[in-house]
Structure 1
Amino acid sequence: MHILVIDGHHVEAEFRAKFGPAHDYSFFNTNYSDRAEQDRMVENMLAAADTVDVVFSGEGGQSYLLFAHLTIPVFVEASDESLIESLEYEGVALDALLFGYCGLPTLVNRPLLEVSVWNENNRQKLAETCAALGTDYRVVADRVGLVTPRVVCQIINEACFTLQEGTASMQDIDLGMRLGTNYPRGPFAWANAIGVERVYAVLEAMWHDTHDERYKVCPLLKRQALSGEPFNI
């Protein structure tokens, strides 16, 4: 298959590892510096569409809407905004082949592709697409945070509260989580790997969606995200 990835350069290695060398890949970055560059990028993406079998859109806005009218599956990164929220005012047809997916760094290259669906009638197409991509998948509710981002970001948030309260050091918390729960990373190392700003965005979106105290962002995490700096582990 020819996989087109929009604004996914930061997880390019994960995409290639996830789906393997049997597929062709095109990566486009829509972080335009001026209008002329934007027009050239749109032209290039549309030209590539003739040979594309599936589109994955990352975190760079709504360029995926260029492909929403085509009969190819389009997967939209939905960790901090559900499909229904992101498409509410865009006039996208109900039968469009749109799916949400978990595209945060460290969470792409996993055995399961975590997805939500725009239209329940498209589940068969989803199954066919995932089979062609060579990946297992699970459908989750179209809610902000999906499942894995919600869990991982909540763990990071709780770790920040623990650090803020002076209960343990950053290093001790990371070590304790790795040894005690067999997680691949401690919460602060994981926050750095995902991107602290992305963790903050997921938690903030979940808080506004649910007003559940579990997702209220720790002030320490908020300050770190707004500073644009990783945790100094």
Structure 2
Amino acid sequence: MHILVIDGHHVEAEFRQKFGPEHEYTFISTEHQGKDEWLEIQQSVAEAAASAGTAFCFSRVGTHSSPYMVVSGFQLPVFVEIQTESTADIQRFDVANAATATYFGFCGLPTLLNRPLLEVSLTHEADREKLAATCAALGTDYRVVEDRVGLVTPRVVCQIINEACFTLQEGTASMQDIDLGMRLGTNYPRGPFAWANAIGVERVYAVLEAMWHDTHDERYKVCPLLKRQALRGEPFGV
């Protein structure tokens, strides 16, 4: 299958590992400086989409651009990374293409993509068969979760990182001790601060901010320490 990947250069290696060498890949960035460059990007996307079997759209940190801006009108299944909005939100905004577009949500955060199960969400129950057929063509097992901001795994992992930030901020333990304790005590692959760096502190912050605005649940209220690191664009010093 030919897979069109939009704004996924930061996880290109992980993406190729996930789906394997038997597919053809086209990676396109939507970052642009002006109208002419944007028109060139749209043309490149249209040309790639003409032969693609499916598309994956990743969220861009620090922007409010939505994937449907470049994939609207294409007759192929589109997987949209769920960080700050649900697939229902995206399809509702994509008025021009709402009748024909098929959107699936997916978990695409770095370190959470290349897993045995692709974490996905449905906008419409009627799309379940199309999802099954598309994932079969991709050669991946999948698990359908509720179509909510943050899906499941990103929400859980980002919440763990946030709690670790509160622990550090309160002076209960050092950053190194927290990371070591979580790796040895819970058998996590990384400590929360190393994991935040691997995912990208700004992405962790974006997920938590979106969850807070969606639920107003105190669990997702962003720790000031985490917010400061994200706004500065700095990783944790582990």
| TM-score bin (small chain) | over 0.9
In the aligned structure 2, how far is the partner of 1:46 from the partner of 1:128? 23
Query: Which residue among 119, 122, 130 is the counterpart of 2:124?
Result: 119
TM-score (normalised: structure 1)? 0.96
Consecutive unaligned residues in structure 1, runs of 5 or more: none
Query: Which residue among 223, 232, 235 is the counterpart of 1:230?
Result: 235
Bigger mean CA offset, 40-49 vs 168-177: 40-49
Secondary structure, aligned partner of 1:113: strand
2:13 pairs with 1:9: no
Indicate if the aligned counterparts of 1:178 and 1:185 stay in contact, CA closer than 8 A.
Answer: yes
2:132 pairs with 1:150: no
Amino acid paired to 1:112: L
2:84 pairs with 1:71: no
Q: Note the 1:67-216 alignment, pairs <5 A.
A: 67-91=71-95, 92-216=97-221
Q: Deviations over 1:21-79 (max 9, x none)?
A: 00000000000022211111111111112210010001143344443433311000112
Q: 1:98 to 1:65 in 2, by over 3 A?
A: farther
- Deviation of 1:86 after TM superposition, in Å, equals 2.9
- Deviation of 1:83 after TM superposition, in Å, equals 1.5
- Deviation of 1:130 after TM superposition, in Å, equals 0.5
Amino acid paired to 1:108: L
- Identify the residue that residue 20 of structure 1 maps to in structure 2: 20
Bigger mean CA offset, 116-125 vs 19-28: 116-125
How many corresponding residue pairs?
233
Secondary structure, aligned partner of 1:137: strand
Indicate if the aligned counterparts of 1:75 and 1:98 stay in contact, CA closer than 8 A.
Answer: yes
- Identify the residue that residue 30 of structure 1 maps to in structure 2: 30
Consecutive unaligned residues in structure 2, runs of 5 or more: none
Amino acid paired to 1:86: I
In the aligned structure 2, how far is the partner of 1:67 from the partner of 1:88? 14
- Deviation of 1:120 after TM superposition, in Å, equals 1.2
Secondary structure, aligned partner of 1:168: coil
- Deviation of 1:170 after TM superposition, in Å, equals 0.3
Indicate if the aligned counterparts of 1:79 and 1:101 stay in contact, CA closer than 8 A.
Answer: no
Q: 1:64 to 1:90 in 2, by over 3 A?
A: closer
Bigger mean CA offset, 147-156 vs 82-91: 82-91
- Identify the residue that residue 48 of structure 2 maps to in structure 1: 48
TM-score (normalised: structure 2)? 0.94
In the aligned structure 2, how far is the partner of 1:174 from the partner of 1:148? 19
Indicate if the aligned counterparts of 1:94 and 1:118 stay in contact, CA closer than 8 A.
Answer: no
Amino acid paired to 1:71: Q
Bigger mean CA offset, 147-156 vs 84-93: 84-93
Indicate if the aligned counterparts of 1:96 and 1:119 stay in contact, CA closer than 8 A.
Answer: no
Query: Root-mean-square deviation (CA), in Å?
Result: 1.3
Amino acid paired to 1:24: E
In the aligned structure 2, how far is the partner of 1:221 from the partner of 1:66? 32
In the aligned structure 2, how far is the partner of 1:129 from the partner of 1:85? 22
